[in-house]
A = this chain, B = another copy of it.
Amino acid sequence: MKKVNLTEKFTLFSEHWSPKVAGEIGDYYLKLAKLKGEFLWHKHDVEDEMFLVVAGRLIIKLRDGDVELLPGEFLIIPHGVEHMPVADQEAHVMLFEPKTTVNTGDAGGERTKTEVQWV
């Protein structure tokens, strides 16, 4: 059992749109991700997903409008809700989601990350 320092963990990887697992709590993962640019529209049919911004600025596009997240702000996307994360500059984000969650949800495609990578 070891504590995790978020700032330190974010120094250990540089890829964008490739969430890394930093902890497991029951059947959920706490993941860290660096986001920059546009992702893609998708939804998770079963899993709710939380985005908490640690650094930078993240826009979550929803079909009925955009939500802007600054450091210390979070949004929970309920299952079934289409969303697209967008970050003009690099944003550092913490995610809580069930272990079964796939980053691209129902959209699939080449940006899908199937391997569980720890940081």
Contacts and interface: CB of A to CB of B under 8 A. Distances in A.
Q: Say what secondary structure dominates the interface of chain A.
A: strand
Copies per complex?
A: 2
Nearest to A23: B76
A81 interface: yes
A106 interface: no
A5 B67 contact: no
Chain A: number of interface residues, binned into ranges = 20 to 34
A1 B81 contact: yes
Given A23-B76, A25-B49, A96-B96, A67 B30 contact: no
A67 B5 CA distance: 12
Interface string A1-14: 11111110000000
